[in-house]
Amino acid sequence: MRNHTRTSKFLSLVLRHKPEKIGITLDGHGWAKVPEILEGLNLTLEELVHIVETDGKQRYSFNEDRSKIRANQGHSIPVDLELDPVEPPERLYHGTVGQFLPSIRREGLTKQSRQYVHLSGDPVTAAKVGSRRGKPIVLQVNAGAMQREGFRFYQAANGVWLTETVPPEYLTLPG
């Protein structure tokens, strides 16, 4: 069996950041044509379905007839995922690392290269996100208060919470 982790990482790159890597474009809603993905990644449909179905974070979705595929979140290129605002739980969580804290204290969470700030529904998931970069630090986000004060929250098809920005007054930082 081929190394699916590597292929999945490349699929993320293509569907979130650089479709031009395989000479394709995404439509305005982030969809790529499945035949173009199969050709560009040298995969069979069966292999692509396996990657999508076994992905630990459900990073990808097919459309109904499996003619198109897109990433559920994480884009740096502007795409309209057509997500409706939803009421968040009172608390959400963000996993980061210590080196970013001075800047986060000053300006809050900002989306950096991506389209949204990514938040997790529970602290364990947030710690995993932070641990990609080092010793994880989990920040608590007062999402309920934000929503009541007019900020919008979205939930991607894989459950990841998205918002435009989290001002510092809604964050509880450790220490």
Q: Give the interface with ligand HQG as residue ranges (CB under 6 A).
A: 57, 59, 74, 96, 100, 103-104, 107, 109-110, 112-114, 118, 129, 133, 160
Nearer to ligand HQG, 136 or 144 (CB): 136
To the nearest whole angstrom, how small is the minimum distance from the Cβ of residue 112 to ligand HQG?
A: 4
Nearer to ligand HQG, 38 or 58 (CB): 58
Nearer to ligand HQG, 67 or 100 (CB): 100
To the nearest whole angstrom, how small is the minimum distance from the Cβ of residue 65 to ligand HQG?
A: 25
CA-wise closest residue to 29 among 69, 86, 84, 57? 69
To the nearest whole angstrom, how small is the minimum distance from the Cβ of residue 163 to ligand HQG?
A: 11
Nearer to ligand HQG, 67 or 86 (CB): 86
β-pair type (117-119, 92-97) = unpaired
Nearer to ligand HQG, 72 or 147 (CB): 72
To the nearest whole angstrom, how small is the minimum distance from the Cβ of residue 20 to ligand HQG?
A: 19
Supply the angle between the helices 4-12 and 45-54 in degrees, to the nearest 10.
80
To the nearest whole angstrom, how small is the minimum distance from the Cβ of residue 167 to ligand HQG?
A: 10
